Each structure stands twice: as C-alpha cells, then as structure tokens.
C-alpha cells in the first residue's frame, strides 16, 4: 500500500514536472526577424523569454530575399514576424506570409513592422513606379537612427507584453535596462561625429538616410539613378559635375553594392569612397551598439584620410 502510494505520488510528480517543462518550452515567444537588426533588438529586449531566428543574413540585400522552404517552416512556427516594413520586404514577405499559412503572424499583434512605429523620411508626394522599385512608403532603413531604435524598442516591449502578458513586466524591465545602457552611447556617438556635421556625401543607395539626418550630414545624390536601380553611365557622368559643384567629400557604399561605381566616381572627383556596414553581424559588428561604433569610426577616419590624401 505504502509502495503503491509512493509510486502514484512519484507519477504525479513526474507528470507535474513534464507539464512544467513543456509549458516553459511553449512559453518562449518564437520570433522570426526579417533582418538581423531586428533579430538583435528582439534578443536584447526579450532576453531568455524569446527565441529568435533571422530570415536574412548580415550583409544580404533585405529588399530581395528568397521565400525558401526553410523560411516557410519558420513562419509556420512563429509567434511573431518582426520586419522593417514600410515596403522594404514588399518583394518577398507577402509571399512568405501567404505560403506560411500561419494566421497569427499575418497581421498585428503577431506581425510587427518596425519602420511603421516611427516617423519616416523621404515619403514620396506621389506614387510612381518610375521612381524605382523600393521605398514607396518612405525610406524604410530606420535602424540607422539610434533614437528611432529606442522608440521601436519601447513599442516592441509592449508588443511582446501583448503576446505574452504573463511576462509583460519582465519585457518592460528588460527594455528599460537596455535603453539605460544604450542611451549614453547615443550622446557619445553624436559628439564623436562632430567633425562630420555639415559634410556632403553621395551614397550608393539611400541606405544611411537616417544616420546622415541624425548627424547633420547632407546626401547630395545617390549612385543609383532611382532607388533599387543600378548606376548608369549617364547618371555617373552627371554625378562627377554635381560632386565637384557641391564639394562632396565622401561616397558611401555597402559591400553588396560593389566598389566599382564608388571608386570610379572617387577617381574623378575630390571625394573618397568609404565602405560601410548596414546591419549588425557585418564585419566587426555584432550588436546595434557596435554597428554605430563602427559606422562613426569609419566615417570620421575616412574623412581624415581623405583630407590627407586629396588635399
């Protein structure tokens, strides 16, 4: 009798342990981030309450991603799909969400669009496909302004709390801790970037619009004739005159753009080409903090080197 009771108790205990284990496994919010920057932010804010996968790798062109079968499986399992939005993923995300057949992530609260939580730059007055194939809802590359990232992190914590109310207080605490650590850097970066203020640049794509706006730099033009379209010989020829007239100092490009057009323009003008990362995980960056560190360090040292080299 005693033995039977003990076995029954042990069985009950085992069931309780298994239930607790399976509950905690399901308690994790499963996040599929479209881009590494949002995956990184979700990890910072969600901590061990979230499991994060990224649909694109650092350095990949997020305007164009293949909706491959492994991604469909991740959409099916996700509690949240976390993307830039504002049209950045128009070419692939709708397909992924349709084929993923997970109604929870096809709209809010399971679908979170970071760029749509903040004011965007470059919203076109009229919609015309002739203006290029991207950026119809304004410039989506908002992760390159740390102040907008702070706003997005607050909204993201609230959204996590909506999806996982039992842990709402922890998401808010983790966001506050992250912001408290991040904010002093924002002021330090701005100070470090003081020599860049007022500087005129040409960028390959409208990639760093928010960074330039934050640091008081001016983008005179792009190497792309329209967002998403590759440089043409006639546009490049026009840029030579424009760079000279406007006294452009730096030509900014990402590794995926290739250095051919930037170097061509640099060889014909007083400007210098500088390759910059776009997402955390590229080159010597791993977090959003180290991404901004690297961006500002590269820009300031490129300006110094250019002043020495082309003086």
Q: Which residues bind Zn ion (CB under 5 A)?
A: 134
Minimum gap (Å) between residue 62 Cβ and Zn ion: 8
**Residue with the CB atom nearest Zn ion in the bound state:** 134
Q: Which residue matches tokens 């096809």?
A: 106
Other Cβ atoms closer than 10 A to 43: 16
Nearer to Zn ion, 205 or 249 (CB): 205
Minimum gap (Å) between residue 141 Cβ and Zn ion: 6
Closest CA to 99 of 129, 124, 138, 67: 67
Query: Is 67 in contact with 124 (CB distance < 8 Å)?
Result: no
Minimum gap (Å) between residue 301 Cβ and Zn ion: 25
Query: Is 171 in contact with 80 (CB distance < 8 Å)?
Result: no
Q: What is 147-179 written as a DSSP string?
A: HHHHHHHHHHHHHHHHH-GGGHHHHHHHHHHHH
Nearer to Zn ion, 178 or 208 (CB): 208
Minimum gap (Å) between residue 33 Cβ and Zn ion: 17
Nearer to Zn ion, 104 or 221 (CB): 221
Q: Are strands 218-222 and 111-113 parallel, antiparallel or unpaired?
A: unpaired
Minimum gap (Å) between residue 208 Cβ and Zn ion: 10
Nearer to Zn ion, 220 or 240 (CB): 220
Query: Is 101 in contact with 76 (CB distance < 8 Å)?
Result: yes
Nearer to Zn ion, 29 or 33 (CB): 33
CA angle centred on 299, ends 301 and 123, rounded to 5°: 170
């Amino acid at each position: 009798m005693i033995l039977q009771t003990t076995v029954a108790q042990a069985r009950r205990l085992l069931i309780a342990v298994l239930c607790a284990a399976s509950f905690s496994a399901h308690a994790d919010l499963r996040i599929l981030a479209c881009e590494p920057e949002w995956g990184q932010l979700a990890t910072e804010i969600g901590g061990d309450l979230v499991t994060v996968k990224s649909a694109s790798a650092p350095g990949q062109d997020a305007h164009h991603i293949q909706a491959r079968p492994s991604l469909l499986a991740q959409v099916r399992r996700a509690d949240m799909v976390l993307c830039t939005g504002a049209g950045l993923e128009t070419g692939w995300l709708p397909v992924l969400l349709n084929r993923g057949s997970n109604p929870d992530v096809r709209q809010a609260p399971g679908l979170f669009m970071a760029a749509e939580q903040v004011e965007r730059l470059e919203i076109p007055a009229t919609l015309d496909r002739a203006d290029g194939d991207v950026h119809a809802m304004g410039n989506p590359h908002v992760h390159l302004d740390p102040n907008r990232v702070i706003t997005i992190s607050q909204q993201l914590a609230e959204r996590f709390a909506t999806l996982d109310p039992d842990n709402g207080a922890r998401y808010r605490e983790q966001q506050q801790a992250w912001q408290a650590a991040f904010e002093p850097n924002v002021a330090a970066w701005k100070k470090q970037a003081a020599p860049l203020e007022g500087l005129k640049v040409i960028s390959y794509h409208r990639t760093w619009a928010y960074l330039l706006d934050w640091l008081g730099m001016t983008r005179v033009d792009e190497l792309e004739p329209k967002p998403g379209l590759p440089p043409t010989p006639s546009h490049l020829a026009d840029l030579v005159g424009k760079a000279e007239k406007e006294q452009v100092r730096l030509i900014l490009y990402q590794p995926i753009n290739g250095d051919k057009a930037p170097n061509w323009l640099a060889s014909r003008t007083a400007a210098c080409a500088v390759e910059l990362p776009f997402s955390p995980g590229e080159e010597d960056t791993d977090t959003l903090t180290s991404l901004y560190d690297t961006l500002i360090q590269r820009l300031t040292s490129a300006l110094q080197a250019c002043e020495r080299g082309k003086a």
